[in-house]
Structure 1
Amino acid sequence: MTGHPDRPSGLRRAPKGWAVTEEKAGTLTQCLGIAKQIDPAPVIKIVTKPRGWRKWFKPRLFSTREQEPTFIVSCGFRAEEPVLAIKSAFGGRPFAVHLQRPRVDGYDLVFISRHDWVPELDGIDHVRQMVGVPHQITPDRLAAHAGSRSQYAGPADRVAAVFLGGSNGAYVYDAACHLTIENAVRDLEAAGWKIVISVSRRSSAETLQAALTLRSGNVTVWDRTGDNPYLDFMAAADAFLIAKDSITMPCEALVTGKPVYTLDLTHVPGERLLKFETYHTDLRETLKLTKAFDGDLAPYVYEPLNETARIGTIVAEALADRQQSGPRGVTVSVKRQI
């Protein structure tokens, strides 16, 4: 829908979107992914929490002198109260969408990941399930990077993209984990794959160093110098091997329709591990979208996952309905306990 020839005809004017989020790149990209489906240039509002004397100089998040937003997409609990304040300041007119279970009531639409869903939410009309999280990777964006493949492989080669993250309370990148990564990459190299490896902003210096030791004529590792080649690596890949500490990266790779395998890491027992394992089990066993890595990246077929486009369509249709019928009160509480 970006580019907007496909915008629903019921929208009487070009909607103006605001993306309101806390200071995390992951939550911002979720908001922008959805907002850009409707408005190609949404306004970004970052909710900060300065400490000490800096809190006295905190800038205002918004002003009613700004162009009124038609809709707001938010993520992260620090964004929730500010979104309701924005909505109230503009007379309740902005259509508010939240991308996780909120701690407050007042949103018009709420999307909650399947791994966070609880039965008490079943049947609530303005609350919907989503697979994983939305993001900003689209087939069009990847197509623009298709020419990069020749940097890493020849026409007859197979390219495996290996994406690594960092310790997150559910998994830890320890020496055993680094050895697992090394063995996986060496096995793929021995099987004839060309391999491109990218670390994330969460990756430790030790994980980066462990990846750099794998460099060879067949293995390319981004060393964090220059521009991040993440989109180039995605566009070049014939298959993906993604560490299990990320929820976003598998969702991004599943847009391609290429095989997506997940690499197990050292577990940290607890509720956070349970949530991540629930997510991966759902992708692998229930939805049949991913596979667990066991030494091979064999091809398989699935319907590409594009939750960003699906959610964007739902929001656009709700906006069209809002413009025709006016605001409607949300009466069922969905907030979670703090």
Structure 2
Amino acid sequence: MTKRCWVISDGSAGMVNQAWGLAETLGYEVELKKIRLRQPWETLAPYLTIGVGHCLAKGSDSISPPYPDLVLASGRRAIPPALYIKKKAHGQCKVVYVQDPRISPSHFDAVVCPQHDGLTGENVIQTIGATHRVTSEKLAQARADFQHLNPQNQSVLSVIIGGSTKKYIMDMDFTHRLTNDLSQIAKKGWRVLVTLSRRTPAAVAEKIKSLPSSIYVWDGTGDNPYFGLLGLANAILVTCDSVSMISEVCATSVPVYLYPLPKVYWKHQQFHQSLLDLNRVRWWNGSLELYDFTPLAVNQDTAAKLKRLLTL
């Protein structure tokens, strides 16, 4: 009988993907429970841990019994309902938080957290980067589905561009450097395939979309080619602003280059360095080399550790 897992989240794609990908790797049947919080939990989560039976706002999915075998919660808003389930399930349902909960890990059966966050504890599983939904099977299917993006069967450089955050700024100096680099790579015979993020500043996006037509830039219409770009790639260039994006591209079987931004967040520096130490990534210096590396298996390693810790 297939075991069941609820993924609890406010619906943010990054949060859902981390938990869902781990549940898929564990082999569980997955159901998303999308929640909204009432006040004061909306403002005070994760720190307000009392009265959590009253935390859900209208429009939330039901978290009533029967409970699943496993709950994977991700994002601060998922913490109050996860704690409620842990209390009511009386040990029949394991409750795991994915990311740094900002409260004691002892509130959960286990916590899965990137090692650069520095969280430790008997029930803490540290990961290099984030869990995700990238698998070799999905990439093979996407490669077939999006083969039309490489009609001349050239070597492919897939370019994954994030955007500005509280810690990073994508300015026009960055944009000029990037567009010049991509033009030079295309002139050397590479097929350059580019996808942008919802976080990409409008001015940056417009400049990238004005690249020569020989460079493919997804315009946001039709099926999202993200997995196709990962599957088609012979090498990947990714901006350094997102742990999730970098973790996903490092799940592929091709070399990964990090494209620098003007400032690098110190926690991300630790993450970048861990990947550099493993020779899984290299910083972009203007030239492409198809170097050898050890594949990164974050999902598989995390699932194995979680099974041992919780006897799943």
TM-score normalised by length of structure 1: 0.81
Contact 2:278 2:294 in 1 (8 A): no
Q: Summarize the alignment of residues 1-338 of structure 1 with structure 2, pairs less than 5 Å apart.
A: 13-49=1-37, 58-59=58-59, 61-65=61-65, 67-102=66-101, 103-104=103-104, 105-117=106-118, 121=120, 124-147=121-144, 148-155=146-153, 157-217=154-214, 219-267=215-263, 273-284=265-276, 286-319=277-310, 321=311
Amino acid at match of 1:94: C
Contact 1:257 1:301 in 2 (8 A): no
RMSD of the TM alignment (CA)? 2.3
| Cα distance change of structure 1 residues 245 and 57 upon mapping to structure 2, 3 Å threshold | closer
| Cα distance change of structure 1 residues 125 and 26 upon mapping to structure 2, 3 Å threshold | same
Contact 1:170 1:276 in 2 (8 A): no
Shift of residue 73, structure 1, vs aligned partner:
0.9
Residue by residue over 1:85-133, the C-alpha shift from the partner in whole angstroms, topping out at 9 and shown as x without a partner, is: 0111222321111122221432111122121125xx2xx3321210100
Shift of residue 149, structure 1, vs aligned partner:
3.1
1:333 maps to: none
Paired residue total: 296
| Cα distance change of structure 1 residues 61 and 146 upon mapping to structure 2, 3 Å threshold | closer
| Cα distance change of structure 1 residues 290 and 227 upon mapping to structure 2, 3 Å threshold | same
RCO greater where, 1 or 2, for CA within 8 Å and sep 6 or more? Answer: 1
Counterparts of 1:306 and 1:234, CA distance in 2 = 16
Shift of residue 179, structure 1, vs aligned partner:
0.8
Counterparts of 2:38 and 2:163, CA distance in 1 = 26
Contact 1:64 1:89 in 2 (8 A): no
Residue by residue over 1:272-326, the C-alpha shift from the partner in whole angstroms, topping out at 9 and shown as x without a partner, is: x111222212211x2221000001120111121121122223333445x36xxxx
Amino acid at match of 2:109: D
Amino acid at match of 2:269: E
Contact 2:125 2:306 in 1 (8 A): no
Counterparts of 2:17 and 2:148, CA distance in 1 = 28
| Cα distance change of structure 1 residues 57 and 78 upon mapping to structure 2, 3 Å threshold | closer
Contact 2:37 2:57 in 1 (8 A): no
Counterparts of 1:69 and 1:288, CA distance in 2 = 39
Counterparts of 1:195 and 1:202, CA distance in 2 = 21
Q: Secondary structure at the match of 1:266?
A: coil
Unaligned runs of 5+ residues in structure 2 are 43-54
Contact 1:76 1:100 in 2 (8 A): yes
Unaligned runs of 5+ residues in structure 1 are 1-12, 323-338
Contact 2:143 2:229 in 1 (8 A): no
| Cα distance change of structure 1 residues 79 and 181 upon mapping to structure 2, 3 Å threshold | same
| Cα distance change of structure 1 residues 212 and 81 upon mapping to structure 2, 3 Å threshold | same
| Cα distance change of structure 1 residues 184 and 86 upon mapping to structure 2, 3 Å threshold | same
TM-score normalised by length of structure 2: 0.87
Q: Larger deviation: 128-137 or 302-311? A: 302-311
Q: Secondary structure at the match of 2:25?
A: coil
Contact 1:71 1:94 in 2 (8 A): yes
Residue by residue over 1:9-54, the C-alpha shift from the partner in whole angstroms, topping out at 9 and shown as x without a partner, is: xxxx4321011123421011001001122345312112324689x9
Amino acid at match of 1:171: Y
| Cα distance change of structure 1 residues 245 and 60 upon mapping to structure 2, 3 Å threshold | closer
